[in-house]
Structures are given as C-alpha cells and as structure tokens.
Amino acid sequence: MSWLKLYLFALLALSSSAWAAGEINAADVSWMMVATTLVLFMTIPGIALFYAGMVRKKNVLSVVMQSFAICCAVTIVWYAVGYSLAFSGGNWFIGNFDNVFLKNIQIDTMHGSIPEMLFMMFQMTFAILTPALMCGAFAERIKFSALFLFMILWSLFCYAPVCHWVWADEGWLFKAGALDYAGGTVVHINAGVAGLIACIYLGKRIGYGKEVMAPHNLVLALTGACFLWIGWFGFNGGSGLAADSRSVMAIVVSQIAAAAAALTWMICEYIVNKRFTVLGAISGAVAGLVAITPASGFVTPAASLFIGCCGGLVCYFGATRLKYKLGYDDSLDAFGVHGVGGIVGALLTGVFASDMITGETMKPVAEQLWIQFESVIATFIYAAVVTYILLKIVDLLIGLRVSAEEERVGLDLSLHGERVE
C-alpha cells in the first residue's frame, strides 16, 4: 500500500510539472471548444436572426446574407493575416507577420493550457462577430459588394489593431492596465462607433421619420436574441481560457446583468409609453450582456446587478432618444446598444473590478477609472477615423449605397434576386 501511495504521489507531482510546463489540460480544452462553438453561434444564426426579425420584410435575406458572408470572409482574413497582426509579437500598435497563414503554429503549439490553434479559433469567432454587429447600424441601404469589401478592410485596419492594443502582451492599453475581460472595447465600442460613422456617412433610409419602419417578425428577433444570450456564456465565460471558478462567475454575472437590463428597459418603456414590448425586452437583455462583457471576469454578482440596470437604463435612452435628438438613422440601434452599452460597461468595470474575483491586487478606483476612460476615448477616436477613411475608399472605388429604386424595391430582390414569401 505504501508503494501505491508513493506511486500516486509521484504521478501527481509529474502531472503538476506537466501543467507548469504548459501541457494540455483536457477540461480547459473541452470547455474552450464548447465556448468557441457558442460564440460562433452568436453570429450564425444569432445576429442573423436577431437582425432579420427587426428589418422590414423586403430586406430580411439581405441582413442574413451579410452575417453569413462576413463569417466566411473574416474566417479567411483571420487565418491568413488577422490573427498574426492581433497576437504575434510586434509593437505597441500592431502585431507582426510571423504567423501569417498560421505558419509557425503547429498542432502541438500551446497557448497556456490549450492548443494555440484553439485559442486562434476562439479569437476568430470574436473577429467574425464584431463586424456582423455593426451591420445593424446601416441595414437596408448598403450595397452587398461594398459591405463585403469594407468588412475585409475594417477587420484588418480597425479590429486587428484594437484587439492588439487591449489583449496582446505588447499592446499599449494592455500594458497600461486597461481591463476588458471579453470585449467591451475591442468588440462593442469598436463595432458601435464604426456603425455610427457608417450610418451617418450613408445617410438616412428613404422615408425615415415619415414612414413606419416597424420590425416585420419579432418572433425571429426574439429567437435570435435567445441565441445571443446563450452564446454569450461562451463569449464571457470562455474569455478566461480555462474551465475554472472565474469562468463560472463570468457566466453567473452575465445572466444577472442580462435579466436586470431587460427588466430595467421594460420598466422605462412602461413609464414612458405605458406598455411592455417584445422588442424592448430583447433589446434590454442584449444591452445588459454588452455592459457586463468587459467586467464579466472582474466583478461580483451584486456589481453585475448594478451594471445591468445601468446598461438597460442608459441604452434605452441611447436607442430611443439619442439618435432622434442628433438626427442619425441607426437602423437597428447598433450604436445605441453596443456602442453606448460598451462605454457604460468599460467605465463601470473600473469602478467595480474586485480582487475577490481576480485574486490580484487591483489599482485604486480613481486610477483604474482613468485608464478605462483612456481606453474608451482611444477606441472611439481610432474606430471613427479609420472607419470614415475606409468608407471613403470603398465609396470611391465601387460606391456604397444602393440606388433609390433598389432601396424601395428592397435589397432582397434588387441585390440577391430572392425574397421571403
């Protein structure tokens, strides 16, 4: 029996040494494969259905096609050069070309306790989701060919650099101590601001403010929102790259924030309009998920309740008041929910980040809040400038907006030759 105990002790010691050396961990790999699938599920079919239900019937297929095409295009871009630019060495601004076409990443190359191929794939799903979110801002009026070219360029010149700033060891915001657990700045502020610039550049839809442009199928939108909510568990819960208690907490706070924001939005609607709507409830839930995203690996459940309520409240006014006050046509409230919600979440992360969750000593609140503010401003300005430049280039090359007649007919028939009966 003593020999058996000695053998087991030696085996445990060897396992610990293997772990320390960066050997594969089956539990982490299993969870990260599930999380990767969940995040991809957020784009196809999550965002595709969410947006399809919110546009008019004549444009349903166009927004579904946008999400699907972005998934295909960004997959190849990320594999070819995007991952290398985001995560392969480089300087404070951008990575290098060491891993173009994944040339230096082998099947047994490790990233912590998981294969780097799996880390690359997980990050790919974020790169896919971000431009897909943006499409809601300028739905129903952009050429498909222009969108396709723009999204490829945007992924390279806007998403990859901001991703590098925040999540790569060499990135300047990472070194400054900016906290973004799962993409409040990288995904939501980035996409929201880009969508805002794009919808202003393209101009309003024909009849906006004069015609009723109500969602044609809220069941589709609700289904898409449910897929997003479920997928967000992989989005936030997977961002720690491990199957551990912190990942569990990230899922718990995501659930609480989503529910709190949905209820807050519904209450705001009832106070203002004396009714509860399906569109309001699902918009509120997404707003809460956006707001908790940067904070999900840093805050307690109590803090997530407050963040969710704030996200629901501020995004309600961002989506229902701000765009009318400033006069832009953010078709599906991409900026109102993702841009505004991302800003709220990024700032509140600086307030509520807790060493009880991280296991590390956190900076004083005032110092961390200032760093978070810097990250928000930097992302906002960079995304706005780069997006405008890329839009201008694509507009000069092939034009951005469909003709007035094509818009009246609907993008399904005019661009794709198909329609929903």
> CB within 8 A of 290, min separation 6: which ones?
184, 188, 311, 315, 337, 338, 341, 342, 345
Per-residue pLDDT at 16: 41
Using the predicted structure, report yes or no on whether residue 18 has a pLDDT greater than 80.
no
Say how far residue 161 (Cα) sits from the centre of its chain: 15
pLDDT in tens, 320-352: 999 999 999 999 999 999 999 999 999 999 999
pLDDT in tens, 360-397: 999 999 999 999 999 999 999 999 999 999 999 999 99
In Å, what is the CA distance from 243 to each residue of 120, 233, 325, 367, 379? 18, 12, 45, 31, 30
The whole-number average pLDDT for the span 241-266 is: 97
The whole-number average pLDDT for the span 208-221 is: 93
Using the predicted structure, report yes or no on whether residue 220 has a pLDDT greater than 50.
yes
Residue type, 269: E
> What mean pLDDT, rounded, does the chain reach?
93
pLDDT band at 421 (very low <50, low <70, confident <90, very high): confident
Q: Is 177:363 a contact under the CB 8 Å cutoff?
A: yes
The whole-number average pLDDT for the span 196-212 is: 94
For 56, half-sphere exposure in the C-beta direction (CA atoms, 13 angstrom radius) is 20
Using the predicted structure, report yes or no on whether residue 13 has a pLDDT greater than 60.
no
Per-residue pLDDT at 7: 35
The whole-number average pLDDT for the span 274-284 is: 97
CATH topology of domain 32-416: Ammonium transporter fold (1.10.3430)
Q: Is 225:286 a contact under the CB 8 Å cutoff?
A: yes
Per-residue pLDDT at 14: 34
The Cα–Cα gap between 224 and 51 comes to 8
Per-residue pLDDT at 10: 36
Percentage with pLDDT > 90 across the chain: 92
pLDDT in tens, 123-163: 999 999 999 999 999 999 999 999 999 999 999 999 999 99
Listed by start position, the domains of the chain span: 32-416
The Cα–Cα gap between 340 and 380 comes to 11
Tokens of 166: 């925040």
> CB within 8 A of 164, min separation 6: which ones?
85, 86, 87, 90, 93, 94, 95, 170, 171
In Å, what is the CA distance from 93 to each residue of 84, 150, 240, 276, 348? 13, 21, 23, 46, 25
pLDDT band at 22 (very low <50, low <70, confident <90, very high): low
The Cα–Cα gap between 336 and 187 comes to 14
The Cα–Cα gap between 94 and 157 comes to 10
Comparing 97 with 22, which gets the higher pLDDT? Answer: 97
Q: Token pair 């092939």 is at which residue?
A: 398
Residue type, 176: A
The Cα–Cα gap between 92 and 127 comes to 20
Torsion of CA 142, 148, 154, 156, to 10 degrees: 180
Per-residue pLDDT at 184: 96
pLDDT in tens, 92-126: 999 999 999 999 999 999 999 999 999 999 999 99
- The partner residues of 147 in beta bridges, in order of sequence, read none
Per-residue pLDDT at 209: 86
Residue type, 174: F
Task: Using the Cα atoms of residue 112, residue 114, residue 115 and residue 116 in order, give the sign of their dihedral.
Answer: negative
Tell me, yes or no, if the pTM score tops 0.85: yes
